[in-house]
Amino acid sequence: MTDATVSQPQDPLRLWRGVTLPEWLDYNGHMTEHRYLQVFGESSDALYERLGVDFQRADDGAYYTLETHIIHRAEAKVGTRLWTETEILGFDEKRLHLFHRLHDDCGRLLATGEHLAIHVRDSSVSSASEQILARLGVLFDERRSLPAPAGTGSVLNKRLRFSR
């Protein structure tokens, strides 16, 4: 359901759009918890694709999520139009710290997801390519002035120390 929207360099990236499907509902009639993780995973994949990760040739390297912290703020019912914002909070040659916000079409914040990913090649931690690191650097630098998202660091940030 990825549908990239043009973002200004000073804005968070808008890389994913979708809708709450009937099969995404839980026994209470709203989006079940694992679908929030799916949405954030698809948002991360949209970023990785933009960075140049080739999912058809994973032997060239890809990112793998090590840790995720999701905060559920509001519910989404069937048919709710959804979109995400993505921010790169930090990175180095092997690690990537991301923050996603899930919104409905009214702009209401439904959930946040903070993620730590590592770059892997041949099932081992490895440095990302210079091309990917350069693209990451541009996206990060364009948005460096954004304030730290509310809720960031409640779990992950206490352990992360990036050189950038």
Q: 90, exposed or middle or buried, with CB in 10 Å at 0-12, 13-18, 19+?
A: middle
Is the pTM of the predicted complex or chain greater than 0.85? yes
Is the per-residue pLDDT at 159 higher than 60? no
pLDDT at site 146: 85
The 10s digit of each residue's pLDDT in 17-49 is 999 999 999 999 999 999 999 999 999 999 999
The 10s digit of each residue's pLDDT in 92-110 is 999 999 999 999 999 999 9
- The CATH architecture that domain 13-142 belongs to is Roll (3.10)
Q: How far is CA 16 from CA 32, 106, 154, 158, 163, in A?
A: 19, 16, 25, 28, 28
Selected residue with higher pLDDT from 4 and 119: 119
The structure tokens listed for 124 are: 């081992």
The 10s digit of each residue's pLDDT in 106-155 is 999 999 999 999 999 988 999 999 999 999 999 999 988 888 887 777 66
The 10s digit of each residue's pLDDT in 69-82 is 999 999 999 999 99
Q: 102, exposed or middle or buried, with CB in 10 Å at 0-12, 13-18, 19+?
A: buried
* Residue 160 banded pLDDT, cuts 50, 70, 90: low
| Rounded CA separation 90/98 (Å) | 7
pLDDT at site 54: 85
Report which residue type is found at 49: E
From the CB of residue 28, how many other CB atoms can be counted at a distance below 10 Å? 9
- Across the chain, how many H-helices and E-strands are there? 2, 6
Three-state DSSP class for 127?
coil
- What residue ranges do the domains of the chain occupy? 13-142
Dihedral Cα 97, 98, 99, 105, nearest 10 deg:
180
| Rounded CA separation 9/164 (Å) | 18
Residue 87 parent element (H or E): strand 81-91
